[in-house]
Amino acid sequence: MLPPACMTFRQFLLQRWICIAITIFCKFFLELLYLVKLHVFFMLLSLRITLRLLTYAIMLSYFLQLVFACYVILLQEIAWYMGLELGKINIKRFADGEIYVQLQESVRGCDVYLVQSTCPPANENLMELLIMVDACRRASAKNITVVIPYFGYARADRKTQGRESIAAKLVANLITEAGANRVLACDLHSGQSMGYFDIPVDHVHCQSVILDYLASKTISSDDLVVVSPDVGGVARARSFAKKLSDAPLAIVDKRRHGHNVAEVMNLIGDVKGKVAVMVDDMIDTAGTIAKGAALLHQEGAREVYACCSHAVFSPPAIDRLSSGLFQEVIITNTLPVAEKNYFPQLTVLSVANLLGETIWRVHDDCSVSSIFQ
């Protein structure tokens, strides 16, 4: 570049050096400003985390233990993830079977999270939950959130015949009237059950835990097909398949053409030479899923996996599941699994971290649905 005609060469060089110096200074200043801002950002982040932990230690310090020692494991895992201790509570039975509940520490002004599955014996666990909620309300808890890993009576969500009760609505009313302010429930049998509550309900989807586990098995997406064991579970299976690289879908269609006529099972979709993953919200007696697995093998499936959130395992479920039909049965610990019910093909995944993270987000007024996206 040549200097203008009106400028000496020395003036031109001086101007160039001034421009370079200003450029270097500005660049240095901006980098320094960036480092200062970054330092301040980390200081504020550290301060926020410290204050958050202190706040939670003070305001979110109460978990109430379950009566069943085998299920305290889930509570302990949740508390460990959140860095909290379990709250102290005394639950006992009177001679006539009535339930007595007393909180062993103050919950006045606190956010209380009661973790209780309404698993077998469902009625006793439900009654315990209601009395615990009432005890917290009368002890002046600020907010009472009921965390229900397994919501009993969820299958009674509609009338299929005349003169039937909708027990899911009744249980929702009982929990609300007892004094709960919010409910966290895992994989409800149907989404409509959320509408039975007159308080906010956060629906926790455990399928993300199962999906992460299946991803670790490195099953080729070309070999995979997701199967719904009945027509009613198609929406659940479709959602599951979409998150498994949009895997193909198959449906087991059961039909009975008349009274005293054997049930006919048909398969909609192709599973020949494929790894079939059967998806359901719960396994009770395992009749439906076992018959479906037998049909899949008959249609040429190479391997069959069973996945569910809630393992109720009523007899003769264990006999059916361990008969060799399944390569693996994958469940979560929303219900405690008795030691006698373990068999070689069974894999139990923990939902403790998922529930712990959901509780943090509820307490922080953050999005819960973004966990499952």
* CATH number for position 259: 3.40.50.2020
Residues 315 and 331 in one domain: yes
User: Does residue 2 lie within any of the structural domains?
Assistant: no
Predicted pLDDT of residue 32: 62
Q: Name 192's Cβ contacts closer than 8 Å, sequence gap at least 6.
A: 157, 158
H helix runs in the chain, sequence order: 9-59, 72-82, 122-138, 167-178, 207-216, 234-243, 287-298, 317-321, 352-363
Name the one residue in this structure whose structure tokens are 């264990």: 318
User: Does residue 266 lie within any of the structural domains?
Assistant: yes
Residues 224 and 275 in one domain: yes
How confident is the prediction along the chain (373 residues), in pLDDT tens digits per residue?
444 444 444 554 565 566 666 666 666 665 665 555 555 455 544 545 444 444 444 344 444 433 333 367 888 899 888 888 888 889 999 999 999 999 998 999 989 999 998 888 889 999 999 999 999 999 999 999 999 999 989 888 888 889 999 999 999 999 999 999 999 999 998 877 888 899 999 999 999 999 999 999 888 888 999 999 988 889 999 999 999 989 999 999 987 555 444 576 899 999 999 999 999 999 999 999 999 999 999 999 999 999 999 999 999 999 999 999 999 999 999 999 989 999 999 999 999 999 999 999 999 899 998 988 7
Distance CA 147, CA 76 (A): 14
Strands 89-93 and 99-103: antiparallel
Output the six-digit token pair for 106.
């103050």
Residues 73 and 138 in one domain: yes
Distance CA 350, CA 362 (A): 20
SS3 202: strand
- Half-sphere CA count of 24, side-chain side, radius 13 A: 6
Residues 232 and 333 in one domain: yes
Residues 245 and 297 in one domain: yes
Give the domain extent around 302: 208-350
Distance CA 225, CA 271 (A): 7
**Do 89 and 75 contact (CB within 8 A), yes or no?**
no
Predicted pLDDT of residue 135: 95
Residues 103 and 198 in one domain: yes
SS3 132: helix
Distance CA 340, CA 342 (A): 6
Output the six-digit token pair for 132.
């615990």
Residues 218 and 346 in one domain: yes
Query: Could you tell me which of 263, 262, 235 has the C-alpha nearest to residue 251?
Result: 235
Classify residue 108 as exposed, middle or buried by CB count within 10 Å of its CB (0-12, 13-18, 19+).
exposed
Q: How many domains does the chain have?
A: 2
User: Does residue 245 lie within any of the structural domains?
Assistant: yes
User: Does residue 231 lie within any of the structural domains?
Assistant: yes
Name the one residue in this structure whose structure tokens are 């004094």: 179
Residues 255 and 325 in one domain: yes
Verify cis geometry, omega within 30 degrees of 0, for the bond prior to 315: no
Name the one residue in this structure whose structure tokens are 């020395």: 10
Residues 94 and 162 in one domain: yes
User: Does residue 26 lie within any of the structural domains?
Assistant: no
SS3 287: helix
Distance CA 68, CA 122 (A): 13
Residues 81 and 147 in one domain: yes
User: Does residue 91 lie within any of the structural domains?
Assistant: yes
Residues 337 and 223 in one domain: yes
E strands within 143-219? 143-148, 182-186, 201-204
